[in-house]
Amino acid sequence: MGHPIPLIFERSVPGRTGYSLPECDVPEVPVQQLLPAGQIRQEAPRLPQVSEGDVIRHYVNLSSLNHSVDTGFYPLGSCTMKYNPKVNETATRLPGFARLHPLVPERCAQGALELMYNLEQYLAEITGMDAVSLQPVAGAHGEYTGLKIIAAYHKARGDHKRTTVLVPDSAHGTNPASAAMVGMKIVEVKSDCHGCVCLEDLKAKVDDTVAALMLTNPNTLGLFDINIAEIAEIVHNAGGLLYYDGANANAILGKVRPGDTGFDVVHLNLHKTFSTPHGGGGPGSGPVGVKAQLIPYLPAPRVVKEGDQYRLDYNLPDSIGKVHSFYGNFGVNVRAYTYIRMMGGEGLERVSEDAVLNANYLQARLKGHYHLEYDRLCMHEFVLSGKLQKAHGVRTLDIAKRLLDFGVHPPTIYFPLIIDEAIMIEPTETEGKETLDYFIDVMLQIAREAKEDPENVTQAPHTTPVSRLDEVGAARNPVLRWQP
Amino acid sequence: MNNQYLPNTPEQRRQMLEAIGVGSVEELFSYIPEKLRLNRPLNLPHPMAEARLMAHMEELAGRNEVGAVSFLGGGIYDHFSPAAIDHILTRSEFYTAYTPYQPEVSQGTLQAIFEYQTMICELTGADVANASLYDGATALAEAAIIALNTTRNSKILLAGTMHPWYRKVLDTYMADLDAQVAEIPAVDGRLDLDALAGMVDKDTAAILVQSPNFFGIIEDLPGIGKMLEGHKGLFVVCTDPISLGILEAPARLGADIVVGEGQSLGLAQSFGGPLLGFMGVTEKLTRRIPGRVVGETRDTQGRRGFVLTLQTREQHIRREKATSNICSNQALCALAASVYLSLMGPGGLREVARQSLLKAAYAREQLAQIPGVEVPHAGPWFKEFALKLPRPAAAVIDAMVDRGYYAGIDLGRFYPGMEDCLLVAVTEKRTREEIDGFRAALQEVLK
Amino acid sequence: MNIPQDLKYTKEHEWIRVEGNRVTVGITDYAQDQLGDIVFVELPAVGDEVESGDGFAVLESVKAAADVYAPVSGTVVEVNEDLEDDPALVNTDPYGQGWLAVFELAEGEDLSELMTAEEYQQFLAEQE
């Protein structure tokens, strides 16, 4: 079927149904007798009236319009689009997990609680932290939770003047947005020429109002900040704490632990580093790990082990409270647990080695054809600049769109902001050399086209279900729902 | 080591190292200062082969009791989920895709979200819906943040009949902002409207109400909505989407923002997550809504297509001035809800709601006949209700597990003084036989 | 680049038309070109009091949001409601139909810091 695929509403045929429900086997009572008169629904919601076959065909056809990890290379920088093992999916759908209600008596959920407890221990070991909470369900949610913990820590010490969060100018947008949600002011710290924290600027900006510095290491250029020990010392000496944004943790498993380099709080993205699928934008999981002095402030409840029994402890007087209705994205955490048990410590270390090897291989082969601002060994990702191609009137956006014609998802583009025409490439460890070689060939061809046939690039994509879309029109006259 | 997820062979690794111009993989990590390195193996269990791993996972899963007939609710419900939903959720073109930042190769996800937004608008009566939030509790907190920012007032009036854990999450989110949260008292399991009338004033940012509320009782939404007439405060309703098959859309009763938990729409209970926070708002709040929003547009050849839009609200552009920090949401859960609502259609959704209502009414009537058992509230209820028992609920719940029933939630956990109360939920999945069996078992336990 | 002679300018690329104690404010041709297609304009409310340097409006393109800073202190007496329906006016006619707001100047407001067209042209040249 060609695009466009009609909306599910446009397939609707009045009177058609896609469900079967049991006969009502209790006494029939008119609903008017049970419901308040003014609140009985007057008009039914205009949901589609379709058969099960219609529904399946519709969504299967829609799915075919997506690029995904399972259909092609996805080197989207900072997003760690690695292969999502199928055993994870099978494990999380086991009835003992999938059908478990969160409020069953604890003796009926011992398997789930044991899994949560052990996963917390594993993540603490991997990050060098003393305790972990699985409650945050996304990276940004983890940031929020971590900053709440930091704020609670300062307040408990009577240190009420700590109202600023230092954020590097190369940081992910969630960092300042999360800081704002805990009521903190943001102060930007400049990056040096390697995208690392500029120590001079840090020293100038750190003072007794600083609650924390938020940092990604390796940074958003894929470079390890070699000054991390000194950065930690500067911030700690001023009474602030160090927050680790785990977006780039895939580079360091078993090699270096945030907790050993001075970080006090970390969040991990299980949907990046620990192979749980991105789901087209979630659900993820963003556990938070802390050092011992911050444990009292972790969200409630916490899983505790007493003898060989597990229970949820709500009696945490200093806790920041709850950040989720229940205990976080348990189903996602089951997948991450499965992955860690599959890989073991040895396997995880190999994950980072191969992720870094793949990235360096691509960087070595592509530099020269694309501008590389910082020519040194990278970690799990690296950032090229499209400025050589810009000279021919081909922008990074065009390069990205042209990649679509070759079945490759484009890298992250125009981020970090400190690189002109940025192209941020993260191949991950689950791609074989021949996939990387194919990508290199395609990138070299696009570089050639930029010189010889720029229009072919600027008009791309040519083979996708739709061509470039009018985003200006979409924003000027928002059409955000179907209307009958 | 060999590993099924790591494709490169020793020979390929050698070739790659050569192209890079280094002698070993270790050299690639040379920028990490030696003294900071771990320099020991991670202390984790040994790797497991897939067959052994699945045996281990089955053993763990087997230690969770899921065979009991469930009358548990409190935000997570045992509604029927058609098999077709999981077949769509396991389409890996959906679940292994990232956020649809490249619309040309993400039309599947984008169109599905657009359809989801439409369905949420249809259910709630709202003009605009977003692509999803984490869960019902954070959706409520985000709604309160919209109210604070829009009205520039700081007083949040929060229903005491709101899910206690949603209230806890709200407290967390409000604690660092310029907000005062005051609890609206309840009488007979419903909000005390006289008390509320005395609380609303020109400084009110929002009234946050759950209906059906934590006790399963339908609040007087039209009456509460009227109290804000002439005030700039917003009316926020947290609702059960299944109830909207039979109950009026909250936005048509005056709600400015409608939020809630979408787990009932075909999602697994999964020990409380992943869940689905939904949010619908009136048109004038369009640019205040948090998170992703999909809009319709055209491609260069005039074909209909969909894109993420109004992105200047979001963290990746607006940074600290964003409407929220949310980035990843619960897209796949929203897809599940869309498939569920497509299958059910208007008739199916109404029938699920109607049967839940009738079966809950039947169960309430039956259980109230047990000597010593009372219904402490007067209703009107939807699918959940409190029961007052002649002894502490916790022990009764425990005894009922041994008889094959999850009898409900111990209300004493959430409301001091209600230790002898049980919160019972009944969905369309429960049969008359199960309800009668529940009655017999409870009668025996209480003897 | 169009820089009308009869207007005053700021380093934040705003233009100001002075009429007695009232000033009309908009963004320059250069600024609209830098921002790209404007998709939404957030305007202040009539009656808002602003201090010079405060953000009083926000111009949004698809991928950016730019604060517009008040070049003067005063009270907002009029806003360009046409921009609600047609934000593109800022792109197509920045000095005319794309105006943003009219302010009544605060007591003793000094306008001597504002640049003339020549000075702004010079300023732009230095920016390049």
State the nearest Cα–Cα gap between B318 and chain C, in angstroms. 7
Closest A-chain CA to C36? A472
As for how many domains chain B has, the answer is: 2
pLDDT tens sequence across B326-340 = 999 999 999 999 999
pLDDT tens sequence across B343-385 = 999 999 999 999 999 999 999 999 999 999 999 999 999 999 9
Residue at C39 is within a domain: yes
Query: Which of B340, B362, B388 is where one domain is finished?
Result: B340
What domains appear along chain A, each with residue ranges and CATH number? 8-63 (no CATH), 87-343 (3.40.640.10), 352-458 (3.90.1150.10)
Set of chain A residues whose Cβ sits within 8 Å of the Cβ of B295: 474-475, 478-480
pLDDT tens sequence across B396-411 = 999 999 999 999 999 9
**Torsion angle of alpha carbons A242, A244, A245, A247, nearest 10°?**
160
Host domain of residue B139: 83-340
Q: Tell me whether residues C88 and A475 touch, CB distance under 8 A.
A: no
* pLDDT of amino acid B271: 98
Give, as one character, the DSSP assignment of residue A319.
S
Tell which residue, A356, A329, A365, A332, has the closest CA to residue A443.
A365
* pLDDT of amino acid C81: 95
B353 in the same domain as B331: no
CATH code for the domain in which residue C52 is found: 2.40.50.100
State the nearest Cα–Cα gap between A263 and chain B, in angstroms. 12
Q: What part of B 183-212 touches A (C-beta under 8 Å)?
A: none
* pLDDT of amino acid A1: 39
The runs of H, that is alpha helices, within A99-169 are 110-127, 139-156
Q: A: neighbours with 3+ CB pairs under 8 Å? A: B, C
Tell which residue, B165, B203, B213, B212, has the closest CA to residue B182.
B203
> Least CB-CB distance to A283: which of B22, B332, B344?
B332
B277 in the same domain as B414: no
State the nearest Cα–Cα gap between C86 and chain A, in angstroms. 8
Residue at C115 is within a domain: no
Mutate: best of A23, A469, A472, partner B, most B CBs <10 A: A469
Residues of B with CB under 8 A from a CB of C: 287, 310-312, 317-318, 321
Q: What part of A 446-475 touches C (C-beta under 8 Å)?
A: 471-472, 475
pLDDT tens sequence across B77-117 = 999 999 999 999 999 999 999 999 999 999 999 999 999 99
Q: Tell me whether residues A476 and C40 touch, CB distance under 8 A.
A: yes
B366 in the same domain as B300: no
* pLDDT of amino acid A63: 98
B217 in the same domain as B151: yes
> Least CB-CB distance to B318: which of C40, C61, C65?
C65
Set of chain C residues whose Cβ sits within 8 Å of the Cβ of A176: none
Residue B421 near residue B385, CB atoms below 8 Å:
no
Strand pairing class (B234-239; B204-210) = parallel
Mean pLDDT by 10 residues, chain A (484 residues): 81 97 94 96 98 98 98 96 98 98 98 98 98 97 97 96 93 88 93 87 96 94 94 97 96 98 98 97 97 98 97 97 98 98 97 98 97 94 96 96 97 90 97 98 98 96 96 95 95
Question: CA–CA separation, B160 vs A462, rounded Å?
Answer: 57
Asked if B162 has any chain A CB less than 8 Å from its own CB, the reply is no
Residue at B38 is within a domain: no
Q: Count Cβ neighbours within 10 Å for each residue of A405-427 and write b for 16 or more, e otherwise.
A: bbebbbbbbbbbebbebbbbbbb
B357 in the same domain as B292: no
Residue at B20 is within a domain: no
Query: Which of B322, B340, B358 is where one domain is finished?
Result: B340
Q: Give the model's confidence band at B224: pLDDT under 50 very low, under 70 low, under 90 confident, else very high.
A: very high
* pLDDT of amino acid B369: 97
> Least CB-CB distance to A478: which of B82, B295, B361?
B295
Residue at C127 is within a domain: no
Q: What part of B 51-110 touches A (C-beta under 8 Å)?
A: 53-54, 56-66, 68, 70, 72, 74-76, 78, 80, 82, 84, 86-88, 90-100, 102-109
Element (H, E) at A287: none
Strand pairing class (B409-410; B128-129) = unpaired
Q: What is the DSSP string of B35-67?
A: GGB--S----PPP--HHHHHHHHHHHHHTB---
Residues of C with CB under 8 A from a CB of B: 40, 42, 60-65
B148 in the same domain as B135: yes
The two structure tokens encoding residue C45:
């409310």
Q: What is the DSSP string of chain C?
A: ----TT-EE-TTSEEEEEETTEEEEEE-HHHHHHH-S--EEE-PPTT-EE-TTSEEEEEE-SS-EEEEE-SS-EEEEEE-THHHH-TTHHHH-TTTTT--EEEEEPTT---TTSBPHHHHHHHHHHH-
Set of chain C residues whose Cβ sits within 8 Å of the Cβ of B312: 40, 60-65
Host domain of residue C93: 8-108
Identity of the amino acid at A137: V
Mutate: best of C39, C86, C90, partner A, most A CBs <10 A: C39
Set of chain C residues whose Cβ sits within 8 Å of the Cβ of B149: none
For residue A174, CA distances in Å to A321, B27, B318, C98 come to: 21, 33, 10, 33
State the nearest Cα–Cα gap between A473 and chain C, in angstroms. 8
Residue A202 near residue A189, CB atoms below 8 Å:
yes
CATH code for the domain in which residue B442 is found: 3.90.1150.10
Residue at B248 is within a domain: yes
Residue at C121 is within a domain: no
Q: Tell me whether residues B317 and C64 touch, CB distance under 8 A.
A: yes
Closest C-chain CA to B310? C62
Residue B300 near residue A462, CB atoms below 8 Å:
no
Residue at B281 is within a domain: yes
Give, as one character, the DSSP assignment of residue B200.
-
Q: How many CB pairs under 8 A join A and C?
A: 14
Residue A81 near residue B98, CB atoms below 8 Å:
yes
pLDDT tens sequence across B115-170 = 999 999 999 999 999 999 999 999 999 999 999 999 999 999 999 999 999 999 99
pLDDT tens sequence across C2-53 = 899 999 999 999 999 999 999 999 999 999 999 999 999 999 999 999 999 8
Residue at C128 is within a domain: no
Residue at B48 is within a domain: no
* pLDDT of amino acid C127: 78
As for how many domains chain C has, the answer is: 1
Residue at B112 is within a domain: yes
Set of chain C residues whose Cβ sits within 8 Å of the Cβ of B311: 62-63
Mutate: best of C38, C59, C60, partner B, most B CBs <10 A: C60
| Backbone torsions φ then ψ of A48, nearest 5 degrees | -65, 150
Strand pairing class (B155-159; B180-184) = parallel
The tally of CA atoms less than 13 A away on the side-chain side of residue C91 is 16
Q: Tell me whether residues B317 and C63 touch, CB distance under 8 A.
A: yes
Query: Which of B306, B340, B374 is where one domain is finished?
Result: B340
State the nearest Cα–Cα gap between A147 and chain B, in angstroms. 11
Q: Tell me whether residues C40 and A471 touch, CB distance under 8 A.
A: no
Closest B-chain CA to A152? B176
Asked if A476 has any chain C CB less than 8 Å from its own CB, the reply is yes
Q: Tell me whether residues B248 and A176 touch, CB distance under 8 A.
A: no
Percent of chain B with pLDDT over 70: 100
Mutate: best of A397, A413, A472, partner C, most C CBs <10 A: A472
Mutate: best of B312, B314, B318, partner C, most C CBs <10 A: B312
**Mean pLDDT for chain B overall:** 97
State the nearest Cα–Cα gap between B85 and chain C, in angstroms. 35
Identity of the amino acid at B190: R
Mutate: best of A415, A469, A476, A479, partner C, most C CBs <10 A: A476
B363 in the same domain as B318: no
Set of chain A residues whose Cβ sits within 8 Å of the Cβ of C62: 471-472, 475
B182 in the same domain as B280: yes
Q: Tell me whether residues C65 and B287 touch, CB distance under 8 A.
A: no
Residue at B21 is within a domain: no
Q: Which residues, in sequence order, are CB contacts of C89 under 8 Å at separation 6+?
A: C80, C82, C83, C97, C98
* pLDDT of amino acid A170: 82
Strand pairing class (B421-425; A210-215) = unpaired
B215 in the same domain as B306: yes
Set of chain A residues whose Cβ sits within 8 Å of the Cβ of B317: 173
Closest A-chain CA to C62? A472
B423 in the same domain as B374: yes
Give, as one character, the DSSP assignment of residue A6.
P
Question: CA–CA separation, C54 vs B439, rounded Å?
Answer: 67
Residue at C103 is within a domain: yes
State the nearest Cα–Cα gap between B238 and chain A, in angstroms. 13
What's the maximum distance between 2 C-alpha atoms anywhere in chain A? 78
Tell which residue, A272, A222, A175, has the closest CA to residue A424.
A222
State the nearest Cα–Cα gap between A71 and chain B, in angstroms. 7
B365 in the same domain as B271: no
Residues of C with CB under 8 A from a CB of A: 37, 39-40, 60-62, 87-88
Q: Using omega within 30 degrees of 0 as the cis cutoff, is the peptide bond preceding A410 cis?
A: no
Closest B-chain CA to A323? B169
B392 in the same domain as B318: no
CATH code for the domain in which residue B331 is found: 3.40.640.10
Q: B: neighbours with 3+ CB pairs under 8 Å? A: A, C
For residue B426, CA distances in Å to B79, B212, B381, B408 come to: 9, 14, 11, 10
Residue at B17 is within a domain: no
Tell which residue, C41, C42, C32, C33, has the closest CA to residue C86.
C41
CA angle A448, A452, A457 (to 5 degrees): 75
